[in-house]
Amino acid sequence: MEDAAAATADVLAALAPSWSAAVVLLSYLAYLAAAGALLPGKLVAGAVLPDSSRLHYRCNGLLSLLLLLGLSALGVYMGWMTPTVVADRGLELLSTTFIFSVIVSFLLYYTGLRSRHQSSSLKPHATGSFIQDWWFGVQLNPHFMGVDLKFFFIRAGMMAWLFINLSLLAKSYLAGSVNRAVILYQFFCGWYIIDYFIHEEFMTSTWDIIAERLGFMLVFGDLVFIPFTFTIQGWWLLGNKMELPLLASVANCIIFLIGYLVFRGANKQKHLFKKDPKAPIWGKPPKVVGGKLLVSGYWGIARHCNYLGDLLLALSFSLPCGASSVIPYFYPTYLLILLIWRERRDEARCSEKYKDIWAEYCKLVPWRILPYVY
């Protein structure tokens, strides 16, 4: 009992936010803001909004990431920082980032209600319910000093995920505990994150960017949930030695590869279709319902086939941890619940928006996520 109480006290003490953690967080965000504004990148037109306007996004996330990796490596080489700095301050960074996300959410709520803009991006969409408006947000695409905050926070969360993992890898290396399980986990996550930034422009046609307003749900999800819960497997492997058999490793790689091909392929097909509705899908002219809904390629297999790929990828991130604990499977379990909830929301909105066209689409593509199952 005394040991458990002492361990709890240590965790609570480590969770206490600190000024040093705040400096790390704000320096990181300041770098991303500066790099996003100054570094060259492809300017991508976003989706057409209800008022016929469209935002443009500078997709220089990969260059920003590579530069930050180089600067971090230089800092470690020169002795200005340790490679385990993020892992060493993990809990206090978690609490500090959480407080920051709450503050930002309240500021977004307050400034959104005071907005007098009539554009689709900045027009306030208030329901009158504080909880709902604070949680889901008031404005679609709020900006701060020229920075599109929604796109910025997604970039910050994805990049932080990689840096936390790299810091955990450094900690494992120094402890001499790097093994096949650690390497697979790090490789899968690293591939996924870098691939995200290579195809960053695809993010501009996703539901989060097009339809979700920016409130606590997205701010917390991007800045806290993505980097600090998607790395639970890495934290678990740091404290638990897992000897992964070769056959299990091969099976894990196959699941990752299938998930990646479905996830990336589906998102690419959707993005290209929105840019050019006549672009061939799998070498053939696309089949379209009502001139709006794609039923070719992956989108002729399931209405939310990209979710299936995402779920397989999430599972592959956890499988290197084996089956001795449910803790590493928090991410795929959470994602399954989230995507089913989101799929239901998507279905309701699409049914209202497309009406008879959506009904026809559902007849042609009866499966929601997993063919012949759901």
Q: What's the pLDDT tens digit per position in 25-40?
A: 999 999 999 999 999 9
Residues 6 or more apart in contact with residue 276 via CB below 8 angstroms: none
Q: What pLDDT, on the 0 to 100 scale, is given for residue 110? A: 92
For 287-311, write each residue's pLDDT tens digit: 888 878 888 899 989 999 999 999 9
- Confidence band, pLDDT 50/70/90 cuts, at residue 276: confident
Checking if the pLDDT of 7 tops 50, the result is: no
Residues 6 or more apart in contact with residue 115 via CB below 8 angstroms: 122, 123, 124, 138, 139
Rounded to whole angstroms, the Cα distance separating 325 from 323 reads 6
Structure tokens at 314: 């999430």
Structure tokens at 221: 């999800």
Enclosing H/E stretch for 237:
helix 232-239
For 303-360, write each residue's pLDDT tens digit: 999 999 999 999 999 999 998 899 999 999 999 998 998 889 888 888 888 888 888 8
Q: What pLDDT, on the 0 to 100 scale, is given for residue 94? A: 94
- Confidence band, pLDDT 50/70/90 cuts, at residue 4: very low
Q: Phi and psi of 57, rounded to 5°? A: -120, 130
For 110-164, write each residue's pLDDT tens digit: 999 988 888 888 888 888 899 999 999 999 899 988 889 999 999 999 999 999 9
Rounded to whole angstroms, the Cα distance separating 216 from 222 reads 10
For 87-121, write each residue's pLDDT tens digit: 888 899 999 999 999 999 999 999 999 888 888 88
pTM, entire model = 0.87
Give yes or no for a contact between 263 and 298, defined as CB atoms under 8 angstroms apart. Answer: no
- Confidence band, pLDDT 50/70/90 cuts, at residue 208: confident
Checking if the pLDDT of 11 tops 70, the result is: no
Neighbours of 277 (CB within 10 A): 12
Q: What pLDDT, on the 0 to 100 scale, is given for residue 10? A: 52
Q: What is the DSSP string of 7-70?
A: HHHHHHHHHS--HHHHHHHHHHHHHHHHHHHHS--EEEE-PPPTTS---EEEE-HHHHHHHHHH
Rounded to whole angstroms, the Cα distance separating 27 from 271 reads 33
Q: What pLDDT, on the 0 to 100 scale, is given for residue 137? A: 92
